[in-house]
Structures are given as structure tokens and as C-alpha cells.
């Protein structure tokens, strides 16, 4: 067997093991963390029965070994590896610049002394995260338009910062990295830096420990486009770090450099964060990405299944789109699990019954979510405010009707899994009207205790509470 064949087989084995390992993670948070940690793998080399996994640095190698060694071993066996396969985790300091600075992320500039220096992006952008690969639908069209505006003209005040928020697994990271990739495509010399808030915090702590804060500041204040993922992870952390982030934020925006931030929640809902930072986050373009409707879910699955072997049938894709509605990452996990089973038994016929068995854990999790309907919300709000459903659906604009109408819109958006188009249809209103109503109630809830009390009472009547918020 030639070396090329061995390499191809080994790569296929590693790809399957990696997919299985991430897919089998229990819970969205663990799968998301695994995807991010696995992105720090530089390369995988096979020597006999040993797979050597080289990470970006020692910290990454330690995390991978501590958190995934056992799961990866099991995943290799499920992927078809021999029982005696072993895994080693390591890193190569000498190779670090080549790993962390892939060609699209390298910026070369001359210093005052005439020496050439290279800007090193903390985490590499994934090349497949592009606007072309992102599936547009009514739930994300506004976010996508804003992102393309940023990529076309980084630093313009109306879109700086661009703050994207929404639930887990809806495509926030994809859109953010697509911005970075598009900026690099148009201007290879642009200094684009992508990293998670957690990684940014770790770098800050290391800089403090090594007395190199000045170097840290200079590094991040020379960036053209700063992409910060999952900002909610810094919200509860140290005061000094928030001060440092605030100063970096101001330095970049004052220099018309672009900042893009993602979060699971809106700025005002970030716990423990300073008001001045919230004000900065809300000072540019605030965009929410929403759960996709059926047609968008099906289009996403068709895109994700391209090139899969064996080919995924339309009936299987429709089954997943109909049964996995919470978010895109859950659909991807379900699709990956089906593909694993299909590879293990090529004679398997994927009927709805078989798919229900394979995806039992995914489906049960979907069913465990509180399944409020928009009609239930409308009826409950009407009863609370002593108005009719006809008045809620009417164009009447008196305050006694506008408040219950918009409150019903807010609850439908935040506490049901219905998509924006579906909610708009139930209220016989446009998408923009629903978005306006939801935002208006969100603002009023902060300053009107009576409205907050009414919301709590309605949620109680519906059998849920604030902790059940899904959007």
C-alpha cells in the first residue's frame, strides 16, 4: 500500500473520528466548545498505530488531552480504527507562526526601523465560512445585509460596532468569520483578528502575569477589523479586564477601525457588565439573528449535506428539518449522526422509523422544550387585558390595544419556537412591525415595573417563566 493511500485512509479515519466525537457530545454548549477547541488543532500525523495530534500551543494541547482524549479514543473505534490505536497530543512551538497565521490572515508591514513584521491572528479564520456558504432566509436576512455592509466598508460609523445576538447555533460565528474572510479577500493586507472573548481574556491574564500589558495593548490597537465571539463570557469577569477592553474598543472605533461582536443575548441583558460598555455596544448596529423556519432549515441541510457519502436523500433531510427546529447546530449534529450510521451499514434503509430511532436523543430534547403556540399567547394576553383577538389583529393604534398587541408579539418571539415569518402571519403584520413591537416592549420592560408584572403573570398562566425564554 502506497504512502499516499495510507495518508488518505488515515485522514478519512481522523475526519470520521472527529465528527463522531463532536456529534456525540451531550448538549449544545459542549458541542460548541468542542468545535472551537478542535479548531486549534494544527495537524494530525499517523505513525504506525499512533495518531499524533499537534495543537497551536501547549495550552491547547493540554485542553485537548484533558477534555477529549477518552472520547476521541472511543470515536476512533466507532470510525473503524483497530482496537490498538493510540493518541498523542503535542505542539510545535517552531511551527506556531505558520499555524496561527495562515496565508489569508497574514499582514506584513514595515516598522519605523524598516524591518518587516507580521500581524498574527490569534485564531485562524475558517475558509469555508463565507457569505456564499451562508444560507439566507427571513430569520437572518437583516443580519446578513448588515454583515455584508461591514465587509464592503469596514469602520463606517452606522455599522460600528456591529453587535450580533441570538441563541446558540444560529450562525453568528459563520457570519462573523465571513466578514473577516471577505475583508481579507478584498484587501489581503488588512489586519483582521478573530478570537473568542475567552481567548482574549486569557491573553490579557497572560500579559498581566508576564508584565507585558503594553505589548498586548499595542498589538490589539493596530488591528483593522476585530472580531470578538461570545462576548457574554467576559461579562462576569474582572473589573480590570473590562477597563482594558473598554480602552481597546475606544481606541479602535476612534481610529475608524471595525469591531464585530457576537453574543447569546442583547447588550442590555449581559450580566455584570459596565453600563459604559453596554452603551458602546449599542452605539452602532444591533442585529438579532433568529431561529430559521422550515424552508430555511431544509435549505441549510441541503447545503450541509453536499458531498456526503453516501448521498443523503431528500426524505431524510425533510425528516430532520421537520423534527429538529431549535437551531442550526442541532440540525448539523443530527445530520452528522445519520451519516455515521449510514457509513457503518450501507444496506440500512433510512425510513422515518429508523431515523426516529437514530435521532431519538435529538428528538426527545426538542420535545422537552415548552411548545407554546402563538394562538395560546394571543388568547392569554387578550384575557389579561380584556381585549379581543380581532382588536389584536386590527390596525387600531390606541395605547390600550398597542400594549397587549406588542406584548403578545414579544412573548411569541421570545417564548415560542415559531419563526419570524410564522409570527408575522399569525398577527397579520409585516416582519418589520413584529420586530418593532418586540423591541418596544423590551425597552419598556426596563422602566415599567407594572408591565414586567403583567408579563410574569401571563407567563405563569401559560405555564412557563423567564427561564424558558428561547429567543
What pairs with residue 261 in β-bridges? 163, 228
- Looking at domain 101-288, what is its CATH homologous superfamily? P-loop containing nucleotide triphosphate hydrolases (3.40.50.300)
Identify which of 125-129, 282-286, 429-433 has the greatest average pLDDT. 282-286
At which residue does the C-alpha cell 462573523 appear? Answer: 176
pLDDT score of 113 more than 70? no
Which CATH code is given to the segment(s) 296-368?
Answer: 1.10.8
Residue 224: alpha-carbon gap to chain centroid: 22
* In the chain, domain spans: 3-97, 101-288, 296-368, 374-468
Q: pLDDT category, 18, cuts 50, 70, 90? A: confident
- pTM of the prediction? 0.62
Domain 3-97 part of CATH 3.30.300.180: yes
Q: pLDDT category, 6, cuts 50, 70, 90? A: very low
CA distance 470 to 441: 16
Over the chain, what is the mean pLDDT? 82
Percent of the chain predicted with pLDDT > 70: 88
**What pLDDT was estimated at residue 27?**
64
**Per-residue pLDDT tens digits for 228-281:** 998 887 755 467 888 888 999 999 999 999 999 998 888 887 777 888 888 999
Percent of the chain predicted with pLDDT > 90: 29
**What pLDDT was estimated at residue 381?**
95
**Per-residue pLDDT tens digits for 57-70:** 777 788 888 888 88
Contacts of 178 (CB under 8 A, 6+ apart): 129, 130, 131, 133, 134, 147, 151
Contacts of 46 (CB under 8 A, 6+ apart): 6, 7, 10, 14, 52
Strands (DSSP E) found in 273-431:
285-288
Question: Apex CA 163: angle with CA 159 and CA 165, to 5°?
Answer: 145
> By mean pLDDT, which of 116-130, 131-145, 374-388, 416-430 is the weakest?
116-130
Burial class (CB in 10 A: 0-12, 13-18, 19+), 10: middle
- CATH of 374-468, picked from 3.30.1130.10, 3.30.420.40, 3.90.1300.10, 1.10.1750.10, is 1.10.1750.10
**What pLDDT was estimated at residue 362?**
83
Q: pLDDT category, 355, cuts 50, 70, 90? A: very high
Amino acid at each position: 500500500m502506497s504512502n499516499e493511500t495510507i495518508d488518505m485512509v488515515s485522514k478519512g479515519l481522523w475526519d470520521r473520528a472527529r465528527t463522531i466525537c463532536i456529534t456525540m457530545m451531550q448538549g449544545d454548549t459542549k458541542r460548541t466548545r468542542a468545535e472551537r477547541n478542535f479548531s486549534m488543532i494544527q495537524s494530525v500525523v499517523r505513525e504506525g498505530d499512533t495518531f499524533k495530534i499537534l495543537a497551536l500551543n501547549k495550552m491547547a494541547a493540554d485542553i485537548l488531552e484533558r477534555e477529549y482524549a477518552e472520547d476521541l479514543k472511543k470515536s476512533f473505534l466507532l470510525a473503524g480504527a483497530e482496537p490498538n490505536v493510540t493518541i498523542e497530543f503535542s505542539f510545535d512551538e517552531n511551527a506556531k507562526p505558520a499555524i496561527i497565521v495562515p496565508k489569508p490572515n497574514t499582514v506584513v508591514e514595515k516598522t519605523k526601523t524598516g524591518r518587516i513584521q507580521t500581524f498574527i491572528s490569534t485564531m485562524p479564520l475558517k475558509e469555508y465560512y463565507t457569505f456564499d456558504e451562508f444560507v439566507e432566509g427571513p430569520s437572518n436576512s437583516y443580519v446578513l445585509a448588515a454583515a455584508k455592509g461591514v465587509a464592503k466598508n469596514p469602520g463606517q460609523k452606522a455599522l460600528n460596532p456591529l453587535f450580533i445576538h441570538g441563541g446558540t447555533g444560529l450562525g453568528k460565528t459563520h457570519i462573523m468569520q465571513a466578514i473577516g474572510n471577505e475583508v481579507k479577500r478584498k484587501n489581503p493586507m488588512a489586519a483582521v483578528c478573530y478570537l473568542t472573548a475567552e481567548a482574549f481574556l486569557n491573553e490579557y491574564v497572560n500579559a498581566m502575569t508576564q508584565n507585558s500589558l503594553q505589548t498586548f495593548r499595542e498589538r490589539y490597537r493596530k488591528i483593522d477589523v476585530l472580531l470578538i465571539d461570545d462576548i457574554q463570557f467576559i461579562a462576569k469577569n474582572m473589573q480590570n479586564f473590562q477597563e482594558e477592553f473598554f480602552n481597546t474598543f475606544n481606541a479602535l472605533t476612534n481610529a475608524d477601525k471595525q469591531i464585530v461582536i457576537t453574543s447569546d443575548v442583547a447588550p442590555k441583558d449581559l450580566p455584570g457588565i459596565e453600563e459604559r460598555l453596554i452603551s458602546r455596544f449599542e452605539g452602532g448596529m444591533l442585529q438579532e439573528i433568529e431561529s430559521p423556519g422550515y424552508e430555511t432549515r431544509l435549505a441549510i441541510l441541503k447545503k450541509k449535506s453536499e458531498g456526503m457519502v453516501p448521498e443523503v436523500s431528500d426524505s431524510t433531510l425533510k425528516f430532520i428539518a421537520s423534527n429538529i427546529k431549535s437551531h442550526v447546530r442541532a440540525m448539523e449534529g443530527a445530520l452528522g449522526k445519520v451519516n455515521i450510521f449510514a457509513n457503518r451499514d450501507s444496506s440500512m434503509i433510512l425510513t422515518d422509523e429508523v431515523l426516529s430511532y437514530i435521532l431519538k436523543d435529538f428528538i426527545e430534547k426538542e420535545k422537552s422544550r415548552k411548545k407554546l403556540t402563538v394562538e395560546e399567547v394571543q388568547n392569554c394576553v387578550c384575557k389579561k387585558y380584556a381585549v379581543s383577538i380581532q382588536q389584536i389583529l386590527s390596525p387600531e393604534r390606541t395605547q390600550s390595544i398597542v400594549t397587549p398587541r406588542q406584548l403578545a408579539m414579544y412573548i411569541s418571539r421570545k417564548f415560542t419556537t415559531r419563526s419570524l415569518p410564522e409570527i408575522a402571519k399569525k398577527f397579520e403584520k409585516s416582519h418589520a412591525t413584529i420586530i418593532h413591537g418586540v423591541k418596544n416592549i423590551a425597552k419598556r420592560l426596563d422602566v415599567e415595573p407594572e408591565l414586567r408584572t403583567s408579563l410574569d403573570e401571563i407567563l405563569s398562566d401559560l405555564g412557563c417563566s423567564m427561564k424558558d425564554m428561547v429567543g
